[in-house]
Structure 1
Amino acid sequence: MVTPSQEELERRRIVGINAETVTHITSTDFPGHWPGEDHSWDLEHFKKNFKIQFHTNAQHDASFSLIGLDASVANAFRRILIAEVPTLAIEDVFIYNNTSIIQDEVLSHRLGLIPLKGNREGLNWMKWYKKPTDDDPRASTPSDYNTIVLMLNVTCTWKEKGLEKATAGETDPNRLYNNHNVYAHHMTFHPIGQQNTYFPPSAPIAPVHPDILIAKLRPGQCIDLRMHCMKGIGADHAKFSPVATASYRLMPSINIAAPILGADARKFARCFPRGVIALQPVTAEEAARKGSGYEGHEREVKAVVVDPMRDTVSRECLRHEEFKDKVKLGRVRDHFIFRIESSGQWDSDELFLESVRVLKVKCQRMKRGLEGLMR
């Protein structure tokens, strides 16, 4: 068997980005494509080459790289993050009184899109609620382990100073009315059964963002309703998706093939987002080395790639004739830069671990199905 050089393997990893075309987009690391080379999948080889690098890791925003992975697996993680990690959301709204100007249907839709949070152990403890359908009239019974009850009861009234109402001619609603804005924090959690244990006062079910505006009221108007929250996945409805966004992009590759100096270097740096290209002086060693291209240019500035991750691959540099033969743009086909923004029910770094768990369960289910077919 033939073993390709490391340089050749690195070349195969690059997707070519040209002025008008994209080349080498198809992966070639599979058995039979390269004669005499063994590209059969090997677990030890995968462990050796697979890497995870975290770039930022805030509670609701994380960015990290998965290196040495196939695009199909990376895309599986992305799709699972969007559509298959379960969360809690408002599913049923029982309206007792709504005299606001917002229709019942619009108000219910608004409430359903408010992201909720609570004790993580309690959310995992909750079971699925099965709603009745025409084909299957049997349904789950609302219980403490599959339904969370929230209440919203707000009435707008005039503000009074002693026995008199607000000063005549006043236009500021904050001085005129009580509860004229209905916010998410007006929703109250009413635990039932064992929910007091799994959702203690320190971590109750509550909106992630308490200042979400639900409706505006005027004196005499009120909203009185009851909400049932249930467990679901984004594949059923977007309100159950645990992420605001989950995406990935390939790592940009910028290879300066020939020296770019002086005014050209400054112009070249302006073709990229700030921080991608740096201007550094040519050292005496580089100027003295024959064939380096820097002979006689000591202390003159040169263009150097310092942070290709910041690049957006706009191809701006390829529009200038002086750079066309001096730079090669590309993307690394097995280096995926993920960005996950959590909607609040899960921490962003936990979401990726949860997507790994979901994919593992799906693989085990498929394995059992294959074993059943082979019997």
Structure 2
Amino acid sequence: MANEEEEGGKKIEIRRIVTEEEKTFAKNFNINDLPDIPTGLPPHLELQRTRVVCKNDAPIHTSSVVYSGAYNAVGVDNSVKLENFSENFKVEVISISEDGMDMEFDMIGINAAIANAFRRILLAELPSMAIEKVFVANNTSLVQDEVLAQRLGLIPIAADPRLFDYLSESDQPNEKNTIVFKLHAKCERGEPRLKVLTQELIWLPNGSEMVKESGGSTSSKPKTFTSFSRSQDSFPEFADNPIAPSNLNILIAKLGPGQEIELEA
């Protein structure tokens, strides 16, 4: 084998001697004898495709590759097939509370986006008891009334919603469709700042104690915001299991000396 190169205006001929071994290899070469190209995703791409990794600052790999042919170059079919999903998907129940109100479970073999859809459905579609209306009698804290009401609305209530009726706009709040709490906390002057926790929410089984504004007539019983015909603690479901927040240590507000919160919810 000869090649010609020019160097300094002169042609230089370079000869390379081909060995007999190379001639034999070239003569017997067959493209089908080449080793197979490795198929399958590299470990780091497989991790990114199938796992959401929780880091200290934020989760990673939360977005999914939905195009079926995204990994065709390496021989991986990324399409979603019902048969594969049925074989790989499973639900493992980790724990169930004694009262049946709390359950922890793992969903295995499912796309992160679909798992998040299940989470949103559980939050939005499952009925639960929550604070909807707040009547503030006095609030001198730094927390505005609207913010305070929003915080109260996010507090989970340990009450089975199946024991209550749905309250429509035309219904009168009664013992079958309404739960009432009161909160009265005050930080006396000269005392350190006071933390107002959910344990300060007191259940009122007889309904609201806050009197509505009236025309000044004293001949009738003062009207409140509810119309309970009987006490809720007379129901057998609540006799030994009084209604209260699920967590008694959730911070609602902090009061400075002289500040006070009084409300019904």
For normalisation by structure 2, the TM-score amounts to 0.52
Please give the secondary structure, in 1, of the residue aligned with 2:132: strand
Q: Counterpart in 2 of 1:335?
A: none
2:153 to 97, 112, 122: 112
Q: Structure 2: how far apart are the matches of 1:72 and 1:185? A: 37
Q: Structure 2: how far apart are the matches of 1:126 and 1:147? A: 8
CA deviation map 1:59-100 (0-9, x unaligned): 456233567x99999787544323211101110000011111
Q: Structure 2: how far apart are the matches of 1:126 and 1:188? A: 19
Q: 1:98 to 1:70 in 2, by over 3 A?
A: closer
Q: Structure 2: how far apart are the matches of 1:222 and 1:50? A: 56
Q: Counterpart in 2 of 1:360?
A: none
Tell me the amino acid that sits aligned with residue 191 of structure 1. Answer: P
Greater fraction helix: 1
Q: Structure 2: how far apart are the matches of 1:55 and 1:17? A: 31
Deviation at 1:113, TM superposition (A): 1.1
Tell me the amino acid that sits aligned with residue 80 of structure 2. Answer: S
Q: Where in structure 2 are there 5+ consecutive unaligned residues? A: 1-39, 47-69, 207-229
Greater fraction strand: 1
Tell me the amino acid that sits aligned with residue 143 of structure 2. Answer: I
Deviation at 1:219, TM superposition (A): 2.9
Q: Counterpart in 1 of 2:197?
A: 183
Q: 1:158 to 1:84 in 2, by over 3 A?
A: same
Q: Counterpart in 1 of 2:251?
A: 213
Deviation at 1:185, TM superposition (A): 0.4
Please give the secondary structure, in 2, of the residue aligned with 1:83: helix
Q: Structure 2: how far apart are the matches of 1:127 and 1:92? A: 17
Q: Which has the larger radius of gyration?
A: 2
Q: Counterpart in 2 of 1:63?
A: 105
Q: Number of residue pairs matched?
A: 167
Q: Structure 2: how far apart are the matches of 1:115 and 1:89? A: 6
Q: 1:156 to 1:25 in 2, by over 3 A?
A: same
Alignment check: 8 A CA contact 1:199 1:205 kept: no
Tell me the amino acid that sits aligned with residue 157 of structure 1. Answer: E
- Aligned counterparts, 1:98-247, within 5 A: 98-118=139-159, 120=160, 123-131=161-169, 139-158=170-189, 176-177=191-192, 180-192=194-206, 193=230, 195-196=232-233, 197=235, 199-227=237-265
Tell me the amino acid that sits aligned with residue 215 of structure 1. Answer: A
Q: CA RMSD in A?
A: 3.6
Please give the secondary structure, in 2, of the residue aligned with 1:89: coil
Q: Structure 1: how far apart are the matches of 2:127 and 2:203? A: 20
For normalisation by structure 1, the TM-score amounts to 0.38
Higher relative contact order (CA 8 A, sep 6+): 1
Q: Counterpart in 2 of 1:87?
A: 128
Deviation at 1:27, TM superposition (A): 3.4
Q: Structure 1: how far apart are the matches of 2:145 and 2:165? A: 28
Q: 1:51 to 1:94 in 2, by over 3 A?
A: same
Deviation at 1:182, TM superposition (A): 1.1
Q: Where in structure 1 are there 5+ consecutive unaligned residues? A: 1-15, 31-45, 132-138, 160-175, 228-375
Determine what percentage of the aligned residue pairs are the same residue.
35
Q: 1:111 to 1:76 in 2, by over 3 A?
A: closer
